[in-house]
Amino acid sequence: MGATASRKKTPGSGHPEHDDPAYRRCQELKMERWIQMHYQIKQREQALAIAQHRELFYWLGGFYLSAIYGSASYYQRTKRLSARGPTPAALLRHGLLHGLGVRQQAASHSSCTSIYLSIYPLSAAEANMIMEHEQELLHWPGGLPSVASIDEARMENEMEKKMHPHHM
DSSP code for 50:
H
CB crowding 37-68: b at 16 or more within 10 Å, else e: eebeeebbebbbebbbeeeeeeeeeebeeebe
What mean pLDDT comes out for the span 22-36?
89
pLDDT exceeds cutoff 80 at 36:
yes
Higher pLDDT pick, 15 / 139 = 139
d(CA 148, CA 154): 10
What mean pLDDT comes out for the span 5-12?
53
pLDDT exceeds cutoff 70 at 65:
yes
Quick one: pLDDT at residue 59? 84
pLDDT exceeds cutoff 70 at 10:
no
Cβ contacts of 42 within 8 Å, gap of 6 or more: 140
- pLDDT averaged over every residue in the chain: 75
* Phi–psi pair at 9, nearest 5 degrees: -120, 145
Quick one: pLDDT at residue 34? 92
DSSP code for 16:
B
pTM of the model: 0.58
pLDDT above 90 covers a percentage of the chain that reads: 7
Confidence of residue 155 (pLDDT cuts 50, 70, 90): very high
Q: Cα dihedral sign for 62, 65, 71, 74? A: negative
DSSP code for 164:
-
Quick one: pLDDT at residue 30? 92
What mean pLDDT comes out for the span 45-63?
87
Quick one: pLDDT at residue 96? 55
pLDDT exceeds cutoff 70 at 54:
yes
> CB atoms < 10 A from the CB of 123, how many?
22
What mean pLDDT comes out for the span 77-104?
61
> CB atoms < 10 A from the CB of 136, how many?
6
